[in-house]
Amino acid sequence: MGFWDKLNNFKDKINEVEHNIYTSRKDLMEVYEKNLQLEAEIKERTEELEVANQRLVTVQHIWEMMNSSQPLANVLDSIVNSLQGELGYLFSCIVQKKVDNNGQYLELLAESKCDFLERVYEVLGKALYETRLRWREDADVDYHIENNKIYQSRDVLFSLDYIFPDLPKGMMQDLIKKTGMASYILIPLKSNGNHFASLIVYSSRPDAQAAERNFLKLFSKQIELAITVANLFQTVKDQAVTDGLTGLHNRRYFEEEAQKEVLRAQRQNQKFTVIGLDLDHLKQINDNYGHSCGDIAIKTVADVLKRNARSIDTAARMGGEEFNILLPGVDHVGGLVAAERIRKAIEDVEIDVLGHVTASVGVATFGEHSDNLNELLELTDQAMYSSKKNGRNRVTLANPEDLESWQDIAIDSFIEILKNKKMPIDKSVSERMNKMLGKLTLDHDALYTVSDMLSELYNPNHKVGSSKQKIVVANLLAKRFELSKEDTDKLKVAILLYDIGNMMLPKEILQKRTPLTDEEKELIKTHPVIAAKEILSPIAIVQDVIPIIEHHHENWDGSGYPANASGQSIPLCSQMVLIIDAYFALVESRPYRKAKTKEEALQIIKDGINTKWNAKIAQEFISIISQD
């Protein structure tokens, strides 16, 4: 073979090698590209699974709410906060269109907690629920609501202008930019076939993908079912307005009627009077003759009220031996006449075995003694206390100058606590609380709101409104044991402050889903001492309350903490705080368990008699809760 032949042969072999290398490289590139594509698909599917899982968790929360007999407001709050936390929306709310004499407007039914809203509140200086939300016609939105279709828009500024009409547009634009809001989605909600409200979610995504829209459509059906179930529970609850023992209206009905009467009185510029009466010596009757005779005495008072009430009056058993009568259109003069007539009628009735019973009566008039319903009821209560203090079986007219309010003591305490800055509270939250506590514009309901807000900081499952419920129960329990007004006031202040030591404990322990270690349990046990020594001791006005709080976890058998006190060595008010705290903790959900029903919680109370709590306190407490 010649030279050129060998060269050509060598060249062919080189070409063959190059071809093989090229082919192999091409195969490797194809494998590499397929691997990249596969990795991208795996990542995409993983993200889809994560989103799907988050959506399932959200739906699960709605189902849990449906099965918990929660009030509608709680259900709606859970919905918007689930969307906020689990699906990554920036802000969620539920609004309902309403009409009054001033035209159409929007009412906020629920709002999610978020940084965006905190910033808005800083500027507005008031909560969203205090704002009348404007209503403006919008053909696109109206069409989607009428046809029950999801509506999406990138015009975030336009929609927020509905909700925050008092916020400057430039400031709103700045907030939108800082939070990254790119679009909003409106989902119409129906109940019993009719439009009920609209769920609005604000997203950082400019457009919702088909999967997201489909989920929101499915989710809205679950919300509608939850609303329907909650409304059914509410309807059943609202129907329970009669006290089983006496046939009178119960406290819930009285409070609703009193609220209506306030509106009527303001609209028509007329007065109304509240008569409050308390059966004298019921505890002695129960102790000496038994609870059955006590029930007969209570029924006797109820029968007197029925015979003496006008058709427009509202007579109610407020709990235990306490009754209220609402007298529309009656001033204090007429109220005193009616009260004396009722007092005399009760005294004149003769009861087998018991003989005659008496009642202590208080009278207060809206438009004369106070223009605030809560204060009016407090004044009625204090007038009734004065009747008891001055010998019982008498009528006392309210005196606003005597309103040395336990609420004022609690308010001043909260102000001092916030001023001392010992607790880890965000500055914006602290400022909001201070504004709510301002005495010049204070409605005493703000006190309960602040107490609830503090509780929510360390217990996200805290039921809004339970602070006020605890005070109601504490007041009734104090009357069962005939505590003095001074001791009753101390008890009420303690009810609002007893758990404040939890603010200083690590959240990861308070919100732990698994059992606590022995070390963590010991840390939890320090919270009464923290509340007493570190937070409250510098506040002069609550020095008499501190011992109640310090010992509110002492058990009747000595197994409690921090001092292992037992029996009568535990302050009576501390014993009351213990059982009230235990019950309301049981009916709230916790990270490690679901909320107990009322019946389940009362059974646990019964099981703890003579070990955890005094038998007499437990029996009276069970009686009070069972009547509610």
List pLDDT tens digits, range 382-419. Answer: 899 889 889 999 999 998 776 656 877 888 888 887 77
Instruction: Give the tokens for residue 86.
Output: 């689990």
Is there a single domain that holds both residue 457 and residue 534? yes
Is there a single domain that holds both residue 382 and residue 441? no
Cβ atoms of 162 and 134 within 8 Å: the answer is: yes
Please, which pLDDT band fits residue 74 given cuts at 50, 70 and 90? confident
Classify residue 157: in a domain, yes or no.
Answer: yes
Classify residue 5: in a domain, yes or no.
Answer: no
Q: What is the pLDDT, as a whole number, of residue 441?
A: 44
Distance CA 379, CA 358 (A): 21
Sequence-separated (6 or more) residues with CB below 8 Å from residue 508: none
Distance CA 322, CA 245 (A): 13
User: In angstroms, what CA-CA distances link 251 with 258, 272, 343, 362, 471?
Assistant: 10, 18, 21, 17, 14
Q: What is the pLDDT, as a whole number, of residue 23?
A: 64
Classify residue 67: in a domain, yes or no.
Answer: no
Is there a single domain that holds both residue 433 and residue 394? no
Domain that holds residue 345: 249-401
Q: What is the pLDDT, as a whole number, of residue 314?
A: 95
Classify residue 14: in a domain, yes or no.
Answer: no
Q: What is the pLDDT, as a whole number, of residue 559?
A: 93
Among candidate residues 350, 369, 401, the one where a domain is terminated: 401
* Residue 198 DSSP symbol: E
Instruction: Flag whether pLDDT at 308 surpasses 90.
Output: yes
Please, which pLDDT band fits residue 59 given cuts at 50, 70 and 90? low
593: which strand partners?
A: 590
Is there a single domain that holds both residue 422 and residue 531? yes
Average pLDDT, the chain: 81
User: 290 — alpha (psi -120 to 50), left (phi > 0) or beta?
Assistant: left
Please, which pLDDT band fits residue 11 given cuts at 50, 70 and 90? low
Tell me which long-range contacts 593-597 makes (C-beta under 8 A, separation of at least 24).
594/64, 594/68, 595/68, 597/69
Cα 232-236-242 angle, rounded to 5 deg: 165
Q: Which residue has the higher pLDDT, 99 or 301?
A: 301
CATH code of the domain in which 138 resides = 3.30.450
Q: Tell me what the mean pLDDT of segment 231-259 comes to.
A: 80
Distance, first Cα to last Cα, the chain: 114
Q: What is the pLDDT, as a whole number, of residue 491?
A: 94
Please, which pLDDT band fits residue 36 given cuts at 50, 70 and 90? low
Distance CA 218, CA 426 (A): 37
Classify residue 316: in a domain, yes or no.
Answer: yes
Q: In what order do the strands lie in the sheet with 91-100?
A: 133-134, 103-111, 91-100, 194-203, 183-191, 151-153
Among candidate residues 372, 401, 430, the one where a domain is terminated: 401
Classify residue 74: in a domain, yes or no.
Answer: no
Q: What is the pLDDT, as a whole number, of residue 141?
A: 84
Q: What is the pLDDT, as a whole number, of residue 237?
A: 62
Cβ atoms of 320 and 623 within 8 Å: the answer is: yes
Is there a single domain that holds both residue 425 and residue 375? no
Cα 515-519-524 angle, rounded to 5 deg: 75
Tracing tokens 């019993």 back to the chain, one arrives at: 192
Cβ atoms of 87 and 54 within 8 Å: the answer is: yes
Is there a single domain that holds both residue 361 and residue 458? no
User: Beta strand 272-279 with 359-366: parallel, antiparallel or unpaired?
Assistant: antiparallel
Secondary element (H or E) of residue 93: strand 91-100
Among candidate residues 401, 436, 451, the one where a domain is terminated: 401
Is there a single domain that holds both residue 442 and residue 505? yes
Pick the closest to residue 585 from 437, 470, 481 (CA basis): 470
Note the pLDDT tens digit of each residue in 320-375.
Answer: 889 999 999 999 999 999 999 999 999 999 998 889 999 999 999 999 998 888 88
Is there a single domain that holds both residue 387 and residue 438? no
Sequence-separated (6 or more) residues with CB below 8 Å from residue 15: none
470, exposed or middle or buried, with CB in 10 Å at 0-12, 13-18, 19+? buried
Share of the chain above pLDDT 70, in %: 79
Q: Tell me what the mean pLDDT of segment 70-88 comes to.
A: 71
Is there a single domain that holds both residue 396 and residue 421? no
Q: Which residue has the higher pLDDT, 445 or 408?
A: 408
Cα dihedral across residues 580, 584, 590, 592: positive or negative: positive
Classify residue 58: in a domain, yes or no.
Answer: no
Instruction: Give the tokens for residue 128.
Output: 């969203």
Note the pLDDT tens digit of each residue in 147-188.
Answer: 888 899 998 888 887 777 777 778 888 888 888 889 999 989
Is there a single domain that holds both residue 375 and residue 411? no
Find the length of the chain. 628
In this structure, of 44-58, 91-105, 405-419, 481-495, the range with the lowest mean pLDDT score is: 44-58
Q: What is the pLDDT, as a whole number, of residue 332?
A: 94
Q: Tell me what the mean pLDDT of segment 126-153 comes to.
A: 77
Instruction: Give the tokens for residue 301.
Output: 């008072």
Classify residue 70: in a domain, yes or no.
Answer: no
Q: What is the pLDDT, as a whole number, of residue 440?
A: 41
Please, which pLDDT band fits residue 251 given cuts at 50, 70 and 90? confident
Q: Tell me what the mean pLDDT of segment 109-124 comes to.
A: 75
Number of folded domains that form the chain:
3
Which of 190-194, 220-224, 506-510, 599-603 is predicted most confidently? 599-603
Is there a single domain that holds both residue 172 and residue 254? no
Instruction: Flag whether pLDDT at 556 surpasses 90.
Output: yes
DSSP labels, 149-182: --EEES-HHHHHHHH-TTS-HHHHHHHHHHHT--
CATH code of the domain in which 325 resides = 3.30.70.270
Is there a single domain that holds both residue 476 and residue 383? no
Q: Tell me what the mean pLDDT of segment 471-486 comes to.
A: 87
Q: What is the pLDDT, as a whole number, of residue 396?
A: 95
